[in-house]
Amino acid sequence: MKQLPTTKLKDHNSFSVAANCQRLFVLEHLQDLAQLTQTPLHKPMMLGAGTNILFATDYPGDIILNRLQGRQIIDATDKHAYVRIQAGNNWHESVIWILEQGLSGIENLALIPGTVGAAPIQNIGAYGVELSDTLELVEAWDRKHMRAVMLKANDCQLSYRDSIFRQQADRFWILNITLKLSRKPRLRLGYSGLKQKLDSMGIANPLPGDVAAAVCSLRREKLPDPTLLPNVGSFFKNPIIDNTHLQQLLQNYPELPHWGQGDASSKISAAWLIEKCGYKGYRKGAAGISDQHALILVNHGSASGIDLWKLAKEIQNAVQLEFKLSLQAEPRIIHSS
């Protein structure tokens, strides 16, 4: 473990906003964990690539950058393989590595920004697949009991963009995850637009790598590149409401996109709600909403974290006023109130 000579966080968050912490450390090797846990730390927070956080103010504590590396197949049968990936690995690069091993199950999650350690925190999902579909184990350092723990997927309380790691922020430092992947492709092509994209690519019988390529193409078409226009991807969760409430909304807004959840609830499109309120492409100073996708808050260059947070709250208020619905932010918000 090493302490960096800077406390600046601008290069460690994909919104590229200026912020500071008290001290900044880097964890590169598991054997350094003992030293880290014995170091007197103030409000320590583990951070990956900073792709799911908004610093609306400085962080009033120490930050540890998780840079643990390594991937390996730890067990295999004729049908499945178990892959362990250290938390500091880039997620997309890990998806590609898995495909190169002839395994499938997470190809729909290609090009999601961030590190592997961030994946279980919000149970990342895209194009009809969630991490929970393949997650077996999470190894983490439990700061409450000061010991390493192995959490089975069921213990992680995974749900839509949520988990025990999000609910109990900073208790667990994720060290690695284990995925159960398939040796025989079981492709998930039901998500709107995915099969059409494969057809447009002239691929009638896709392989997992073809699905990943199609997903990458769709994401590049719909979402701004955070390296060119700083953002954290979807800023708001799609609301899940009971079907009675849905039917009331459909009376006034029959075109509202919605998806049944297999019970008495439905998920509705937050992007549609925001666009209906007139915010797609909206800009207030350097803080704005992408003109490609209404769920994406963007930094046009000089926005502060508080500028972006104020815009987010403005959008929440507008949706609440128009639809009587509360939008919840996906990223973790660091703010003073």
Which residue numbers are catalytic? 161, 234, 330
Positive or negative, the CA dihedral 323, 127, 95, 79 is: positive
Asked whether 43 and 53 are in contact (CB, 8 A), the reply is no
User: Which residues on adjacent β-strands are paired with residue 47?
Assistant: 65
| Secondary structure string (H, E, C) spanning the chain | CEECCCCECHHHCCCCCCCECCEEEEECCHHHHHHHHHCCCCCCEEECCCCCEEECCCCCCEEEEECCCCEEEEEECCCEEEEEEECCCEHHHHHHHHHHCCCECCHHHCCCCCEHHHCCCCCCEECCEEHHHCEEEEEEEECCCCEEEEEEHHHHCCECCECHHHHCCCCEEEEEEEEEEECCCCCCCCCCCHHHHHHHCCCCCCCHHHHHHHHHHHHHHHCCCCCCCCCCCECECCCEEEHHHHHHHHHHCCCCCEEECCCCEEEECHHHHHHHCCCCCCEECCEEECCCCCCEEEECCCCCHHHHHHHHHHHHHHHHHHHCCCCCECCEEECCC
Tell me phi and psi for residue 20, to 5 degrees. Answer: -130, 160
Tell me phi and psi for residue 133, to 5 degrees. Answer: -70, -25
CA-CA distance, 164 to 249, in Å (whole number)? 32
What the block records as the tokens of 60 is 């009033």
